[in-house]
Amino acid sequence: MAGQNSAPNFLSFAQSVLNLQSAAIFLLIFLVVLKLFRRPKNLPPGPRQWPVLGNFPALVRSGKHLHEVLAEWARKYGGVMSVHLTPARGPSVVVSDIGIAKELLSRQWERHIDRATIPLMEAAIDIRGSFLFGAGEPAKELRRFGLSAFRKLGVGKKSLEYRINEEARYLVERIEAEKNRPFDLNLPIHNAVSNIICSISFGSRFDYDDPKLKKLLESLEVFSKMGIEILGNTFPFLYHTPLFARKRECFNFLRDTVIQIIQDHQSSYDENDLRDIIDMRIADIKEKEQQGSGVGTGPGLTEEIWLGILDLFGAGTDTTSSTLLWLISFVLKYPEVQEKIQQEIYEVVGSDRQPSCEDRPSMPYTNAVINEVQRMRPAGVFTLPYVTTEEFELRGYTIPKGIGVIINLWAMMNDPKVWDRPEEFIPRRFLSKDGKKMIQHEAFVPFSTGRRSCLGEGLAKTEVFLFATNLFQRFTFKLPPGAPPPALKGICRFTFDPDMLTVCAVKR
């Protein structure tokens, strides 16, 4: 009899254990979901979300760019709101109000927020030495170094202007070789702009046909494309799988190329002849080493430098190139704007010399067009991400520690409460009534604002003005026969770029 009862008793016991395990698993899942999607008390309002998926389905259904959707939600929920953008992750705070953004990014609030780490990037590299992604005191020191180095290398001075105008002559020659035929403007623009940051960072420029420059730009384009990154930031380990094989290959080439250039600089380094930012960074680290706070001048020095130099190369190439390509896209759609720019160039500069930075104050219309292009299509629609470092109150809401903060620059520069008819291209909004002076707008922030605003803002402004005026002085850009006007929709990569731009450049 005992044997007959043992089997049912065992089955009953096993079933109880399984029920307990199932209950424990369910409870664990429930607690995880509750932690992720339980709304912290007094968080800013935001759109309703799906369990686990958050607001991701609404973003996909919209068919619009992320910055456009967030701007629409901001009009409903306010200049500070909370959203769940990434599946299986907690909320983020989105700021679309210029006043709130300037408050958060001021030095008085620096203890509240700092640069956030990107999970996918953390899985790929050590962010030490990054101008873009560094946080805390090391980031402050690196920024001070960067600003000082740019000044010493001529930003805001005649020496840099000469370098840009020299590169503009190479660019004009390359475009002239097309002899009015339709061609893709993307590559020559990227070549020219990249050579400016290469000369500042590496100490030399590349010939436009140099295979290394071609591969650098191709790798940069692949690495900066967006798509599977949202999956990688949710599951960072995927970076090391075949899914990211092409991106890993391109990133490794960029890294290895920069490291080789740094090592060549170390071999030929002369403290009495600092040629570029790499030399200046080596000198900076050597000085700190002598003071007892450096990292050494062997392999540690290379590790300390390479990512920052790659930051400068990538950001210095993509942002200015994007702005110039958007500018030409807009004048293709509005050819009367190109005519007015060319008339102003003719009146101020003429045709016998290249434009100069000294001409800028006398060319308000050209500057207004550039500003309007940057307002409508900024190279960076968001700042780089931030994270809160402590709990604080903001506009009556409680912002918890450890929450992501997204600053929507595009929303601020296209806010109908701030700008009249923001969806329309109206350069005169930046001009006085008589058209002779520029008007400054508080909400015009294409380079961000505050303590982490764009490090290369001065360089970018000079490049855009000189490249643009050199091009419009020598060419009239037209659409190829039968081609429709640019849609001006754009592509979101690391920067916000126009679609492929095929043009005819008619020599003037």
The DSSP code sequence of 493-508 is: BSSEEPSP-EEEEEE-
Residue 208, phi then psi, degrees to nearest 5: -60, -25
User: What is the predicted pLDDT for the residue at 20?
Assistant: 57
> Per residue in 457-504, pLDDT tens?
999 999 999 999 999 999 999 999 999 999 999 999 889 999 888 999
Region of residue 487 (left: phi > 0; alpha: psi -120 to 50; beta: else) = alpha
User: What is the predicted pLDDT for the residue at 12?
Assistant: 54
Q: How many residues does the chain have?
A: 508
> Per residue in 367-388, pLDDT tens?
999 999 999 999 999 999 999 9
Which residues make Cβ contacts (< 8 Å) with residue 178, sequence separation at least 6? Answer: 505
Angstrom distances, CA of residue 28 to CA of 16, 22, 23, 89: 18, 10, 9, 16
Which amino acid appears at position 100 of this protein? I
Task: State the pairing for strand pair 92-95/404-407.
Answer: parallel
Low-confidence ranges of the chain (pLDDT < 50): 1-6, 8, 10-11, 13-14, 17, 30-31, 34
- Environment class of residue 487 by beta-carbon count within 10 Å: exposed (0-12), middle (13-18) or buried (19+)? exposed
Q: How far apart are the first and last CA of the chain?
A: 108
Count other Cβ atoms within 10 Å, centred on residue 408: 25
Is 504 one of the annotated binding-site residues? no
Which amino acid appears at position 314 of this protein? G
Quote the CA–CA distance of 151 and 149 in Å, as a whole number.
Answer: 5
Quote the CA–CA distance of 319 and 464 in Å, as a whole number.
Answer: 10
User: What is the predicted pLDDT for the residue at 32?
Assistant: 52
